[in-house]
Amino acid sequence: MCGIVGYIGSNQAAPIILDGLSKLEYRGYDSAGMAVFDGEKINAKKAVGRLKILENLTHGGETMKGTAGVGHTRWATHGAPSDANSHPHLNAKGTIAVVHNGIIENYIPLKKKMISKGYEFVSETDTEVLAHLLDYYYKGNPLEAISKVLHRVEGSYALGIMFSEYPDEIYAARKDSPLIVGQNEEGCFIASDVPAILKYTRSVYYVDNQEIVQLKREGMKFFSVDEEELTKEAVTIDWDADAAEKAGYEHFMLKEMYEQPKTVTDTISPRIKDNDIVIDELKMTDEELKAIKRIHIVACGSAYHAGVTGKYVIESLARIPVEVDFASEFRYRDPILGDDCMVIVISQSGETADSLAALRDSKAKGYKVLGIVNVVGSSIAREADSVMYTWAGPEIAVATTKAYSAQLAALYLLAMKLAKANNRVSEDRFQQLLVDLRKLPEQIELLLGQKEKIQHFANRYVGAKDIFFIGRGIDYAISLEGSLKLKEISYVHSEAYAAGELKHGTISLIEDGTLVVAVSTQPNLYQKTISNIVEVKARGAFIMAVTSVENQAIEKASDYVVYIPQTDPLFTNSLAIIPLQLFGYYVAVGKGCDVDKPRNLAKSVTVE
């Protein structure tokens, strides 16, 4: 996710900004830039690629003289990595510079409005609209201009802003994207995260939603979005530098699990408008969507598991047949596709070799490909006919958690869109689905709150040799992902089975004390799964059940039960995965495994 650093004080700003940005590199980025006021004007420099390139370009910041500035590492969202799309963005006169982390959801209408007023845009970003809006509303008072702009934008933002007419001030503002400010004897700092300024100060203020900060050399003032002055308490940071990178979490994987409520919100909320689902990126009319008679989902690893869930959800809601393939199989099995078929390639990285090859193959045969991709500007994003981005931000841990959750959310949206285009869903059901979709982030949060309980349980299984996951229907899809999470990071052998299929061979592996994780979230299958639980329990299995609140009958057949909150049966995977992720994580932690970098695995597999 983008990183922001700002400084105003008695020292040179550029070296401090570069140093701060380097401490935010862990967040992932593809380009960097900074703006520094040199006493007369704002100078800006940008560079695509590693921060080192910006450092070289500016001789470690030495060629950008000045004691006030803002800098940015960009993780591309709107528009591929390029100099034009990199931050800072400036107004045409070059008197206002802005860096931004987040997404301005209503940037398209705002951009249209600004164009109609004669503003020219030079980038594809949502952020540039802020530079022009600030210019439009600036009448000599920066705070007033910022306040006016913030009243007009929707979405999320952490901002660093400077006005050349106010060289002794820089500004920060925030809503739903992380931002802190800090102070020492020589100046004040803005940062997306603690590591960027830990070297300079341990006394920081967490900027709250819709607050604006005015920073001067000698101190800071806080304001509400309505320009009322606020008083805030400083917080003393006692983490070491390593813990600070992970925001105090022990591993990136845990941090990323905790980012899932935000990830799901970010993926869903820009696409829900006026109680409807709008996916402009599909570039397809309802008529064109209606013409789709078959879908092939192609992916690898966890993205494949998201696809398996997608199959159940799309088939159930839209009644369109869906096939799901491992990309490595799809490309060599000469699949039968028809003119009325859509190929969906799901990939976090957008670079997985097999998925990319499957995409190229499908395109070469003349089929339209939709990419569900996390990394903007990646190969799959560039080559697909249309792209639906999952807004999970960069994922550092090799084992995916938040990107997977975002993929599920994207697939739900798509399924609902297809269902509506095909008149397969009543308006009442559609509206109820929207309600349930919007509730998912807070429900995920609730489940994350059970971490200690799951950790306690997981500790009993650090010595396990085999663990089985069973479920039926959509619960089978989640069993696949739960089993993969566990085995990839803890090295405990694990298999996922369709619950009814276990008795056809694999049940012979069940011994006294073998843990079987049974997922049962589908009301029409509760009884069936209980029968399967009883079968393995009779062979000595210990049962952990993950089920819906209403299915308390499962307690009699199980040894340990985790309940997930009420949601539509088609969305339960987004909730059931949370205890399974936590379980896998804590077994791995208990065994002392290198959780973020499991042996033999790569985050992005770019070979066949």
Residues classed as catalytic? 2, 603
Greatest distance between any 2 Cα atoms in the chain: 81
Q: Tell whether residue 207 is a contact of ligand G6P (CB under 6 A).
A: no
Nearer to ligand G6P, 91 or 400 (CB): 400
Helix (H) / strand (E) containing 85:
none
Nearer to ligand G6P, 350 or 441 (CB): 350
Selected binder of ligand G6P within 302, 328, 529, 547 (CB under 6 A):
302
Q: What is the DSSP letter of 155?
A: B
Dist. CA 97–CA 119, nearest whole Å: 15
Q: How far is the CB of 365 from ligand G6P (least distance, A)?
A: 21
Would you tell me the crossing angle of helices 474-490 and 572-590 to the nearest 10 degrees? 20
Q: Which of 61, 90, 70 is nearest to 3 (CA)?
A: 70
Name the residue with tokens 């000698």. Answer: 218
Min separation Cβ 345 and ligand G6P, Å: 8
From 41-49, 129-137, 256-264, 599-607, span contacting ligand G6P (CB under 6 A) = 599-607
The answer to whether 177 and 210 are in contact (CB under 8 A) is: no
Residue nearest to ligand G6P (CB): 301
Least gap, CB of 326 to ligand G6P (angstroms): 10
The smaller minimum CB distance to ligand G6P, of residues 563 and 585, is found at 585
Min dist. Cβ of residue 546 to ligand G6P (A): 21
Block residue for tokens 């739903």: 176
Contact range with ligand G6P by CB under 6 A, out of 60-68, 118-126, 299-307, 470-478: 299-307
Q: How far is the CB of 490 from ligand G6P (least distance, A)?
A: 15
Closer CB to ligand G6P, 13 or 392, in the complex: 392
* Cβ closest to ligand G6P, residue 400 vs residue 551: 400
Of residues 379 and 558, the one with the C-beta less far from ligand G6P: 379
- Output the smallest distance, CB 596 to ligand G6P, in A: 12
> Which of the stretches 16-24, 159-167, 237-245, 598-606 binds ligand G6P when contact is defined by CB under 6 A?
598-606
Contact segment (CB under 6 A) with ligand G6P among 131-139, 300-308, 489-497, 575-583 equals 300-308
User: In angstroms, rounded to a whole number, what is the distance separating the alpha carbons of residues 376 and 360?
Assistant: 18
Q: Which two tokens stand for residue 215?
A: 């920073």
Write out the binding residues for ligand G6P, residues 343-372 only, by CB under 6 A. 347-349, 352, 355
Residue number, 317 or 381, with CB nearest to ligand G6P: 381
- 380-399: contacts with ligand G6P (CB under 6 A): 398-399
Please answer whether residues 377 and 391 qualify as being in contact, where contact means their C-beta atoms are separated by less than 8 angstroms. Answer: no
Residue 607 CB, nearest approach to ligand G6P (Å): 11
Is 604 a binder of ligand G6P (CB under 6 A)? yes
| Contact residue for ligand G6P among 84, 225, 291, 605 (CB under 6 A) | 605
- Distance of alpha carbon 365 from its chain centroid, rounded? 32
Residues in 433-492 that interact with ligand G6P by CB under 6 A:
none
Q: How far is the CB of 360 from ligand G6P (least distance, A)?
A: 15
User: Which window, 280-288, 301-309, 495-503, 576-584, contacts ligand G6P (CB under 6 A)?
Assistant: 301-309
Min dist. Cβ of residue 354 to ligand G6P (A): 8
Binding mask 122-161 for ligand G6P (x = CB under 6 A): ----------------------------------------
Residues 6 or more apart in contact with residue 268 via CB below 8 angstroms: 409, 412, 413, 437, 438, 440
Nearer to ligand G6P (CB atom), residue 106 or residue 604: 604
Sheet strands side by side (includes 341-347): 322-326, 294-299, 341-347, 369-373, 386-389
312: which residues sit within 8 A by CB, 6+ positions away? 473, 474, 477, 570
Q: Does 400 interact with ligand G6P (rule: CB under 6 A)? A: yes
Containing 224, the helix (H) or strand (E) segment is strand 219-224
14, 182, 2: which is closest to 77 by C-alpha? 2
| Amino acid at position 349, single letter | S
Stretch that binds ligand G6P, among 119-127, 342-350, 386-394, 448-456 (CB under 6 A): 342-350
Closer residue to ligand G6P, CB minimum distance, 115 or 601 = 601
Q: Helices 572-590 and 427-448 meet at what angle, rounded to 10? A: 20
Q: For residue 263, which of 519, 19, 581 has the smallest C-alpha distance?
A: 581
Closest CA to 557 of 545, 539, 540, 572: 545
CB of 604 to ligand G6P, least distance (A): 5
Neighbours of 116 (CB within 10 A): 8
List 387's β-bridge partners, or say none. 371
Determine if 581 is a binding residue for ligand G6P (CB under 6 A): no
Q: What are phi and psi of 158, to 5 degrees?
A: -125, 130
Piece of the chain touching ligand G6P by CB under 6 A; list 81-89, 120-128, 298-306, 587-595: 298-306
Q: How far is CA 101 from CA 181, 259, 393, 436, in A?
A: 15, 15, 11, 28
Q: Give 110 or 358: the residue with its C-beta nearer to ligand G6P.
A: 358
Which residue among 301, 307, 377, 482 contacts ligand G6P (CB under 6 A)? 301
Residue 603 burial by Cβ neighbours in a 10 Å radius (0-12, 13-18, 19+): middle
Q: Does 601 bind ligand G6P (CB under 6 A)?
A: yes
Distance CA 205, CA 172 (A): 12
Q: How many residues bind ligand G6P (CB under 6 A)?
A: 16
* Least distance (Å) between residue 357 CB and ligand G6P: 12
Question: Any contact of residue 328 with ligand G6P (CB under 6 A)?
Answer: no
* Cα–Cα distance measured from residue 537 to residue 176, given in angstroms and rounded to the nearest whole number: 46
300 binds ligand G6P (CB under 6 A): yes
> Which helix (H) or strand (E) segment is 573 a member of?
helix 572-590
The CA-based angle 51-220-1, given to 5 degrees, is 30
Give me the numbers of helices (H) and strands (E) for the chain, helices first please. 20, 27
Nearer to ligand G6P, 421 or 484 (CB): 484
Q: At how many degrees (to 10) do helices 402-421 and 572-590 cross? A: 170
Give the residues lining the site for ligand G6P (CB under 6 A): 300-303, 347-349, 352, 355, 398-400, 601, 603-605
